[in-house]
A = this chain, B = another copy of it.
Amino acid sequence: MKKKLDGINLLYPTPTTIVGTIVDGKPNFITIAHIGIVNHAKPYLISISSGKIHYSNAGIKENKEFSVNIPSEKLVVETDYVGIVSGKKTDKSGVFETFYGELKHAPMIKECPITMECKLYDTYDTPTHDLFIGEIVETYADESVLTNDKVDIMKVKPLLFDMSSIKYWSIGEAIASCWNVGKQMKKMA
């Protein structure tokens, strides 16, 4: 038996990211789990959605660059902190150690095992949110999260965001191989 839930968005969990920008000349960070994937081929396009009131938005609009950093479980306190304190009132530039790649306005977080520096590809405007579509220029991964030169999600230990529970969740176990486990139905058909 299904129950109606008034059209609520239940498209969770999503990976929690920390978006890095330069605002008023200083690095700023904001937690964003309302992310999106456009494709998985060059140019790699991803989206982040940020309410128009946020301090970070001005930096992205001005510099047309930002970083998307994936924190691991052990960064849960810092990750949550940069999501509840606004850069308008609090200088968050010292919360993390930063490094830069090819772009000058996309501060990346050393403590995050995965970081992506993005050029602003486009902004999709909505009444309340700026949907920033980024083109990934370069991606960086800690060697400690690689297995045979590929990113090992079990080592990354991302923080998964769920809006119903308002909690961060860990990733569990591998269930099956994609584009493979369904082949058994193909044979039956």
Binding site for B on A (CB under 8 A): 1-15, 17, 33-42, 44-47, 49, 51, 68, 70, 73, 76-85, 90, 95, 99, 114-116, 124, 126, 128-129, 131, 133, 136-143, 146, 150-153, 158-186, 189
Contacts and interface: CB of A to CB of B under 8 A. Distances in A.
A170 B173 CA distance: 5
Nearest to A167: B174
A132 to B, nearest CB: 11
Nearest to A118: B7
A13 B114 contact: no
B172 A11 contact: no
Contacts of A139: 4-10
Contacts of A167: 174-178
10 contacts: A3-B141, A7-B44, A7-B116, A11-B46, A11-B68, A11-B116, A34-B38, A36-B49, A76-B181, A80-B176
Contacts of A81: 182-183, 185-186
Contact of A12 (B15, B83, B137, B141): B15
A151 B10 contact: yes
A148 B187 CA distance: 42
A49 B133 CA distance: 13
Given A85-B186, A168-B176, A41 B140 contact: no
Given A164-B151, A165-B152, A189 B90 contact: yes
A1 B143 contact: yes
Nearest to A144: B1
B172 A169 contact: yes
Nearest to A114: B10
A37 B37 contact: no
Contacts of A8: 44, 136, 139
